[in-house]
Structure formats: C-alpha cells, structure tokens
Amino acid sequence: MASQTLWGGRFKEPLAEIALKFSSSIEFDKLLYEEDIAGSIAHVEMLSSCKILTASEGRRIRSALRAIQKEIETGKFKLTFEYEDVHSAIEQRLTQKIGALGGKLHTARSRNDQIALDERLFLRTAIRETSKLVINLQRVLLYKAEKNFGVLMPGYTHTQRAQAIMLSHHLLAYISMLERDFERLQDCSRRLNKSPLGAAAFAGTPFPINRALVAKKLGFDGIVENSIDAVSDRDFILEFISACSLMMMHLSRCAEELVLWTTKEFSFAQISDSYTTGSSIMPQKKNPDMAELVRGKTGRVYGALMNLLTTMKGLPLAYNRDMQEDKQPMFDVVKTARESLYILAHVLVHTTFDKYHLEEELRTDFLTATDMADYLVTKGIPFREAHTITGEIVQYCVTHKMYFGNLDLGTLREFSPKFEPDIFDFILPQTSVERKQSAGSTSPQEVKKQIVHWTRVLSKRRV
C-alpha cells in the first residue's frame, strides 16, 4: 500500500485495505492541498536558511512542489483513497519526482503540526471571504433601509403587534447583528493567526529550526508558543464554527421574517419569481424556498459545533486520531455559511415591500395605545392609571368592532376628562414615530443617524 512508506519499518504486515479505507482522510482533506504545499514551501525555505538543507536541495524541492500543485489542479495527479491523507500523497509524489531528496521535506516536522498549520491557513482565508459576504449583506440591508426610508410598519413583541416603527429601523437591526458577527470573525482570525509548525509531533525537534521565520513567511503574527498546545488545539475551528452558529441564527431570524411577511396573512413583502419556487401539485403556490433553506441549514452549522465539541471534550494531550474528524464539520460550515450569506443577500435585493398595505395595517389596529397612555401622562395622570384607562378604551373598541380612528372626543372623555382635541394627532402612527426622542429609536432623525453611520462604516470597510 502507498501509505505504508510513512511508517513501514516498524510493522511486519501491511495495513489491511479496509483499515486503510476506514482511516483515510484523503477524500475530504484533499481540499487542503494548496495550504499543504504553501506550508511545505515555507518549511523548506526555512530549512535552507538554517543550513539543514542546502540551497540547491531547497530549490529542487520547492520547484517540485510547485509542479505537483499544477498536476493536482490540472488533474494529472489525482488524490485518491490509496493515500492516507493529503500530506502523504504530496510527499510520496514528491519522492517519485525527485527521488530520496523528497524524503528530506519532512525533516523537523510531523503530520501533527502540518495539519494544524494547513487548517489555520485554510480558515484564515475562509474567514476573510466569509467576512466579505457579511459586509455585502450589510450593504444590501442598508440599501433597502435607504430605499424604504419613511415607510412605517407594525413592530412586534411576542409575535403580537406592539408599536408603529419605521421599516428602515427594523432592517437596520440586522445590520447591527451582522456587525457583531463580523467582529467575532475578526477576533477569531486574530487568535488563529499563529503558526504551529515546528512543534513536530508535539515535543519539538532537536534540529536548529527557526519557527518564527516560517511564521513570517506564511503571514502569521507569531508562533503557538507551547508545542503540545500547537498540535492538540482546535479552539480556532470551534471558535469559527461558534461564530458562524451565531451568524446563522441571525440569518435564520431574517429568513423566518421573510417567510412570514410573504404569506397572504401578512402580505408585507413579495420576493421575485427568480428566488421563489412553485409546487408540483398546487399551481397557485409561490414558496419562499431560499429563505426556508437558509433557516434549515442553520441546523447543519449547529450540528457541526456539537460534533466537534463532542470530539474534543475527552481527548488527553496531545494529538489523537479522533482529531481527523475536525475537517468535515469545518469544511461544511465554511460552505454552508458562505452560501447562506450569498443567497440571502440576493433574496433581499429581489424583495419588495408593500408600503400601502403596511400603512393600512397600522390604521386598523391599536399600535398607538402606548402613545395614548403617554398622552395622559403628559396631562398629569400617573402612567399605571393611564395604562388602565387606555386598556379600557382598547376593550371598548374591540367590543364595538372599532379602532382608535373611529372614536370621537366625547367617547374618549367618558374614560378620562383629560382628553383634548389634540389626542387625535397624538395617536397617529406617523406622529408616534416622530415623537420618539431616545438615541437609537425608530424616529426618522434617529434612523437617519443610523443610516449615515452605517454608510460611513461600510463604505470604508475592507478585509
């Protein structure tokens, strides 16, 4: 078997084929070939710098590694299950190309620090690309908030109508959520940006290597100081998946609202045909499947987090083969999170809001009840008493199948003599929104401040 060249001297019998298939990770860790080759090239350059390899040997190995990368990319060299993992596949191909010199590549390192390096390199790039998609979704939400500035809608608590708010204010809330997601990704990137290479199996190496040089060549901020921690740590993957779990929760909440808002019962919004699907049996159906899939894929990311937490929770130091199982959840989360961010941005671009229906819904409900209570407070009535009076008025309207707009001053004064003609302007939804004064509120001036803030932040943001 091809894999036996890595440790064959110790064993009298070759690895059974079913054992090789069971233990092989090449099917999924082949995705790390670019990172593996980049790490190997930096390692060889360091070995040459430290006189562990000659300059000529270093050049030959580097040249062969670059050639192998091209072979993989063109399909000339296929990473198949006969190899145990991507590292052994590349090393064995290297030996085929340049002979025994290829075996010197593994001087002063182990597959333990090698895979830890590859994963850090992979996630560093993945975080950068995911962060760009977060920014893009924030910009889409900002565009929608600007385009719909001035549109009012019912705001909800307990999934029950509560108060009138600006639609822009509601959309901006998701930008704030995504900002925390962005910050968590950047924090994760900073913590993972340390090189584990040179820890070897876990105890270090007697060769006079320069770990800091490799770290610098690969763009790391430094090295993982403790060699045991360097090969046994997977916190950086867990932290990334955890950050993505929170982010997917935010995406799922947004998707859920799109699902609700596009129902006949709500009719707040409509998604274009190009981002909806029909039914195989019911001709009238128009389903928000893209939003539903984002909502559904959130569970995959949560599952990946529990998967890896469970894998790691009982492992003694240092490296254990269980840790081979870290890659599939990592790859799946990267793919799922990026695709979800991408599709939700497109769905939102192709979503329109029904301004007139939203306004009608505000008129035919009691969303300014708090404003009526506040009005009575301005007339000197304690809030708790004002709350009771307003509740009685709401009950009166419900009993008589009326709304606030159907009331006259005489009827209102039966509940409190403090009501004056100005109450009718006070309880208009537009007035309710405009009267808000607290920072970050739904008033037009405060929402405008938020739009200006996010425009400034997102126009300058680069990752």
| Final residue of a structural domain among 294, 320, 354 | 354
DSSP 58-74: HHHHHHHHHHHHHHHHH
Q: Which domain holds residue 422?
A: 361-460
Taking the C-alpha atoms of residue 56 and residue 347, their distance in angstroms, rounded to an integer, is 55
- Say what the pLDDT of residue 261 is: 98
- Say what the pLDDT of residue 347 is: 98
Q: Do the Cβ atoms of 172 and 92 come closer than 8 Å?
A: no
From residue 385, give the alpha-carbon distance in Å to each of 100, 377, 392: 90, 9, 11
| Final residue of a structural domain among 328, 354, 380 | 354
401 and 265 part of one domain: no
41 and 132 part of one domain: no
Chain-centroid distance of CA 239 in Å reads: 11
Question: Does some domain include residue 159?
Answer: no
- Say what the pLDDT of residue 4 is: 45
Q: Do the Cβ atoms of 169 and 443 come closer than 8 Å?
A: no
Taking the C-alpha atoms of residue 321 and residue 312, their distance in angstroms, rounded to an integer, is 11
E strand or H helix at 451, and its extent? Answer: helix 444-460
Q: CB within 8 A of 318, min separation 6: which ones? A: 112, 201, 202, 228, 231, 232
From residue 164, give the alpha-carbon distance in Å to each of 107, 148, 150, 274, 434: 68, 15, 12, 31, 10
| Final residue of a structural domain among 308, 330, 354 | 354
Chain-centroid distance of CA 357 in Å reads: 33
Largest CA distance in the chain: 102
Question: Does some domain include residue 213?
Answer: no
249 and 382 part of one domain: no
- Say what the pLDDT of residue 2 is: 42
- Say what the pLDDT of residue 437 is: 93
346 and 441 part of one domain: no
Residue 225 burial (10 A CB sphere; 0-12, 13-18, 19+): exposed
370 and 454 part of one domain: yes
Question: Does some domain include residue 447?
Answer: yes
- Say what the pLDDT of residue 20 is: 77
Residue 372: give its domain's CATH number.
1.10.40.30
Question: Does some domain include residue 217?
Answer: no
CA dihedral 384, 156, 137, 445 (to 10 degrees): -40
Question: Does some domain include residue 437?
Answer: yes
- Say what the pLDDT of residue 11 is: 75
Question: Does some domain include residue 214?
Answer: no
Taking the C-alpha atoms of residue 41 and residue 58, their distance in angstroms, rounded to an integer, is 9
103 and 118 part of one domain: no
135 and 186 part of one domain: yes
Question: Does some domain include residue 36?
Answer: yes
83 and 187 part of one domain: no
Tokens (6 digits) for 117: 């390096």
Taking the C-alpha atoms of residue 460 and residue 27, their distance in angstroms, rounded to an integer, is 40
From residue 128, give the alpha-carbon distance in Å to each of 240, 242, 432, 443: 12, 16, 42, 35
20 and 37 part of one domain: yes
183 and 280 part of one domain: yes
Q: Which residues of the chain have pLDDT under 70?
A: 1-9
- Say what the pLDDT of residue 264 is: 95
Residue 338: give its domain's CATH number.
1.20.200.10
Residue 384 burial (10 A CB sphere; 0-12, 13-18, 19+): exposed
Domain count, the chain: 3
The residues assigned a catalytic role are 158, 279
- Say what the pLDDT of residue 463 is: 87
46 and 142 part of one domain: no
340 and 390 part of one domain: no
Question: Does some domain include residue 10?
Answer: yes
